[in-house]
Amino acid sequence: MRICIYGAGAIGATIGARLAASGHAVSLVARGAHLDAIRRDGLVFVDHVGNGRQTAGGNDSGTYRLAASDQPAELGQHDVVFLATKAQQLPQVLAGLAPLLGPGSVVVPAINGLPWWYFQGLTGPRAGLMLRALDPAGTMAEALSWRRIVGCVLHLAAERTRPGEVHSTAGRRLILGEPDRTDSGRLRAVALLLESAGFAVERSPDIRRDIWVKLIGNLSFNPVAALTGYRMDQICADAELLTVIRQVLQEGAAVAAGVGIDVGMSAEQRIGIARQLGEARISMLQDLENGRSLELAPIVGAVIEMADLLGIAVPATRTVHALAQARARALGLPAV
Q: Which of 18, 214, 281, 321 is catalytic?
A: 214
pLDDT at 56: 36
CATH value at residue 181: 3.40.50.720
60 in Cβ contact with 198 (< 8 Å): yes
pLDDT attached to residue 261 = 95
In the three-class reduction of DSSP (H, G, I as helix; E, B as strand; rest coil), residue 89 is classed as helix
227 Cβ partners below 8 Å, 6+ apart? 320, 323, 324, 327
Same domain, 196 and 249: no
Instruction: Give catalytic status of residue 86 as yes or no.
Output: no
Domain boundary among 184, 205, 226: 205
Tell me the pLDDT tens digit for each residue of 150-191: 999 999 889 999 999 999 998 899 999 999 999 999 999 999
Report if residue 239 sits inside a domain: yes
CA distance 169 to 177: 25
Q: Is there a domain that residue 266 lies in?
A: yes
As averages over each run of 10 residues, the pLDDT of the chain (336 residues) reads 95 96 95 96 92 51 94 96 91 93 96 92 86 88 93 93 94 95 97 95 97 95 96 96 97 96 94 90 91 92 96 98 95 77
In this structure, the answer to whether residues 143 and 270 fall within a common structural domain is no
Q: For 150-209, give the DSSP string.
A: -EEEEEEEEEEEETTEEEEEEEEEEEEE-TT----HHHHHHHHHHHHTT-EEEE-S-HHH
Do 197 and 213 share a domain, yes or no?
Answer: no
pLDDT at 57: 39
Does residue 40 belong to any structural domain of this protein? yes
The number of domains in the chain is: 2
62 and 159 both lie in a single domain: yes
Domain check: are 291 and 155 in the same one? no
Q: Is 4 helix (H, G, I), strand (E, B) or coil?
A: strand
Residues 142 and 9 grouped into a single domain: yes
Helix axes 239-258, 302-310, angle to 10 degrees: 50
**Final residue of a structural domain among 205, 238, 257:** 205
8 A C-beta contact, residue 317 and residue 219:
yes
- 335 within some domain: no
**Domain identity same for 222 and 122:** no
Residue 51 lies in a domain: yes
Say whether both 144 and 47 belong to one domain. Answer: yes
Q: What is the DSSP string of 32-65?
A: HHHHHHHHHH-EEEEESS--SS--TTSS--EEE-
Q: Looking at the DSSP assignment, which residues form a beta bridge with residue 47?
A: 168
For 216, the domain range is: 209-330
Residue 336 belongs to some domain of the structure: no
Supply the pLDDT for residue 260: 93
Report pLDDT for 136.
Answer: 85
**Same domain for 163 and 293:** no
Q: Are residues 174 and 28 in the same domain?
A: yes
Task: Establish if 288 belongs to a structural domain.
Answer: yes
Looking at residue 212, its pLDDT comes to 96
Indicate whether 195 and 265 sit together in one domain: no
In a domain? residue 182: yes
Given 178, 205, 232, which residue is the final one in a domain?
A: 205
Q: Which helix (H) or strand (E) holds 142?
A: helix 140-143
Let me know whether 197 and 215 are in one domain: no
What is the CATH number for 247? 1.10.1040.10
